[in-house]
Amino acid sequence: MSKPIDNRHNHFKNVLAKAAAGSSSDYGGLGHFWDLPLEKLLVASLHGVRLIAPEAERKTCCSTTPATSAPRSARSGLIQGLQGLAPFDGTRFPRLPWSGTAVSDEDIQIIAGWIDDGCPSSEPDKAEIKVAFPKCEVSIGSVQLDPAQHPVTPGDANEYLYQRGELKQRMNLDCMTPLQLEKFRYAMRELYKLNKWPEDARSYNNLALYHQNHCQHGWERFLPWHRVYLYEFEQALQDHCPDVTMPYWDWTMAAYTPETPEKGQIIPSSFKAFLTKESIIFLKNREVPKQALEELAGLVNQLFTSLTTFYAALSDDVRKILSMPAHRQAVIDALLAANSLWYPLRYPAEYTDSKTHKPSTINKVIHYHYPTSDDMAQILSLRTFREFGGGSSYDDAFGFIDQNPHNTMHIWTGGMNPNPDNSSAPEADRNKAVKLAGRRFHSRSDLYSQPPFGDMFSNLTAAYDPIFWPIHANIDRVWWEWQQLHPNSNPVELDAVLTPWSYTSGDTLDMHRFGYEYVKATTLEPTNVTAPVSRFVSKEIDISKLRNLRFDRAEVRLHRVPQLPRSCFIRVFLNVPDADGNTPLDHAGYAGYLSVFGHGECYGGPGHCDPPPARARKYDLRPRNHNTPRNHRVNVTKTVRRLIETGASSLQITLVVIGVDYQEDHELLRLEGVSLNFLD
């Protein structure tokens, strides 16, 4: 069908204005976003969700997620919101426009076409805009189902997992996508905003104070206490963005050159300081001189590990200008606004020899050495919890993991300020860790100070630095790995209460009870559960960056497979898109199989064997229904490694369904998604 439109940009504005008539919502400070200048609309985010998706998604250093082939409109929060799709399906946000009336399907398709055409501000002539509505029919038995039926998720795997009540994934910081990092930064900013209310327990400051007042070190409660602390902090983040999880920092990755860490990446790139174009405008409004602004503009998007290295990149004249208190504070404010994961009281890898007053290394000044892969392997080989995690009150002992890597990473990231302000009074030194009385809340003025050590140096200030969290997430991940190797070695006092909460040490033994797991990277394709899948063929998954990265296991997962009426085998092939029931199992691309035990013929009435709802009714105390859809996993590590070794730069998953008669079954398997996961 077609519809005469003078200008699709104006049509978009008119449609939204009409649909939102009478609504007072300001959309998180955006106001009437449809009236924004086009250049601002193209980069606008609504509570962390980009209204107009970028033209092409970027890939991080080791992401296994390729640039998606999904239309730009399908990846745009605006279209998702107008259609009432996640996260605008009521789980996180209501449908757009808020407190308004729904936009018609025809108008949504016009707006989607405008986005896919690059959001032109004008049209060549009075154009007839063709509106193509998606087909609903499903092709059964095809090698690859219509992409409209199996789109790549426009968000990320955690968004999908959150909606379906599955374990969410804590990912490797260096493998996260830009979207995942921005969601994490957004949630952190929301916690910082609550600091203006000192009594609000949800604020970042109050959450950090738990560590200052209650942290456990030097005995067996170290690991259980911090597992709860991470969980509680993660819950606070998820109050603002439900699919955000706490990422971990694997400091033994090659980029950090653990044998000579001062020559490596130092800290994750996502936690480094950087300026944006908006930062320059911000500094101009703070009356930073033009000479400095011109030089700072040349540093936009460059990464710096600390304020020290940022200032070192400036000329002497500009450094002198920006060292003036007002300008220095403006620079710190701009860097914090650009990246909520950066922290000014952090001097990683910066150490000064007390005798020579010259720069030195952690090994020479502190006599700690940066943890290497060999160190971590030795820790994982320890046999008892007393050695690994610490002793009980009957047999006190520091656990090795509590000392190195834990203590070392605190010292490494805290570092020593090469330009401390020695005029400050001793009681004002926030991280000398010697005085508890009279301590006050953390404030912005603290971030302008120049203490001799970074905040990570002291347990009283460490949790104020955002890098505290991914370090402890990695400690928790290593504990989980050790638990798999030593399943019967636990703390002695399992009934010990972990103050200030009511959890006990025994409650923490299975991290899955807290709703998360650890993965290095993942990619996921939702499917249409109402349509049988005969042979599923995924999009190509870029793995070129995984060549130089360690991973212990690769898994193909089938998500939420309902009870099937007949038994079957599901064969998994990698990089064999035309695999079928006749493809031999000794084929180089054969990766494994799983078997599903069939439900059999139902003996009950209508609805007897239907899958139960994803969420139980309130006050429903009955146990899990036996018809609840299940997840299945296939270990494909061996085949993935072989393909990488032979030069493969991408992977493509093919699922072939074989019935009990060993023939392809085209009308049996149903599932909600397929994912490829890399685990440490």
Residue 46 · residue 25 · CB < 8 Å: no
Q: Are strands 553-561 and 673-679 parallel, antiparallel or unpaired?
A: antiparallel
Q: How far apart are CA 11 and CA 14, in angstroms?
A: 5
Q: How far apart are CA 82 and CA 296, in angstroms?
A: 40
Report helix, strand or coil for 19: helix
Residue 541 in this model has a pLDDT that exceeds 80: yes
Q: How far apart are CA 192 and CA 199, in angstroms?
A: 13
Residue 476 · residue 436 · CB < 8 Å: no
pLDDT at 440: 62
Residue 132 in this model has a pLDDT that exceeds 80: no
Residue 110 in this model has a pLDDT that exceeds 70: yes
Residue 173 · residue 270 · CB < 8 Å: yes
pLDDT at 98: 84
Query: How many CB atoms within 10 Å of residue 536?
Result: 22
pLDDT at 69: 52
Lowest mean pLDDT segment, chosen from 179-183, 243-247, 570-574: 179-183
The predicted model gives 381-409 an average pLDDT of: 93
pLDDT at 113: 86
Residue 85 in this model has a pLDDT that exceeds 80: yes
Q: Are strands 568-574 and 590-596 parallel, antiparallel or unpaired?
A: antiparallel
pLDDT at 425: 41
pLDDT at 535: 81
Amino acid at 534: S
The residues pairing with 594 across neighbouring beta strands, listed in sequence order, are 570
Residue 258 · residue 252 · CB < 8 Å: yes
Confidence of residue 62 (pLDDT cuts 50, 70, 90): very low
Q: How far apart are CA 142 and CA 121, in angstroms?
A: 41
Helix axes of 290-297 and 277-285: crossing angle, nearest 10 degrees: 170
Cβ-Cβ contacts under 8 Å for 512 (sequence gap 6 or more):
167
- Establish whether the linkage from the previous residue to 344 is cis, with ω within 30° of 0: no
Two structure tokens written together for 118? 């690059």
Residue 346 · residue 414 · CB < 8 Å: yes
Of the chain, the end-to-end C-alpha distance in Å amounts to: 52
Residues 433-483 have pLDDT tens digits of 334 455 566 788 889 999 999 999 988 899 999 999 999 999 999 999 999
Residue 358, classified by CB atoms within 10 Å of its CB into exposed (0-12), middle (13-18) or buried (19+), is exposed
Cβ-Cβ contacts under 8 Å for 592 (sequence gap 6 or more):
556, 571, 572, 634, 635, 636, 639
Two structure tokens written together for 361? 């290394």
Average pLDDT score, the chain: 86
Residue 442 · residue 477 · CB < 8 Å: no
pLDDT at 472: 98
Confidence of residue 96 (pLDDT cuts 50, 70, 90): very high
pLDDT at 223: 97
Stated as kind and residue range, the H or E segment containing 363 is helix 362-365
pLDDT at 129: 45
Two structure tokens written together for 633? 């996993």
**What value does the CA radius of gyration of the chain take, rounded to a whole number of Å?**
27
Two structure tokens written together for 6? 């003078």
SS3 helix, strand, coil % of the chain, rounded to 5? 35, 15, 50
Residue 455 · residue 414 · CB < 8 Å: yes
Q: How far apart are CA 289 and CA 58, in angstroms?
A: 35
Name which of 464, 223, 232 is nearest 341 in CA terms: 464
DSSP 402: I
The predicted model gives 624-642 an average pLDDT of: 92
Residue 386, classified by CB atoms within 10 Å of its CB into exposed (0-12), middle (13-18) or buried (19+), is buried
How far does CA 82 lie from the centroid of its chain?
A: 25
Stated as kind and residue range, the H or E segment containing 209 is helix 204-214
Read off the pTM: 0.76
Query: How many CB atoms within 10 Å of residue 88?
Result: 22
Residue 399 in this model has a pLDDT that exceeds 50: yes
Two structure tokens written together for 127? 């154009």
Residues 209-238 have pLDDT tens digits of 999 889 999 999 999 999 999 999 999 999
pLDDT at 605: 86
Confidence of residue 549 (pLDDT cuts 50, 70, 90): confident
pLDDT at 58: 43
Q: How far apart are CA 137 and CA 148, in angstroms?
A: 10
Residue spans of beta strands (DSSP E) within 209-263: none
Lowest mean pLDDT segment, chosen from 11-20, 242-251, 361-370, 417-426: 417-426
Confidence of residue 542 (pLDDT cuts 50, 70, 90): confident
Q: Which residue has the higher pLDDT, 643 or 367?
A: 643
Amino acid at 656: V
Residue 575 in this model has a pLDDT that exceeds 90: yes
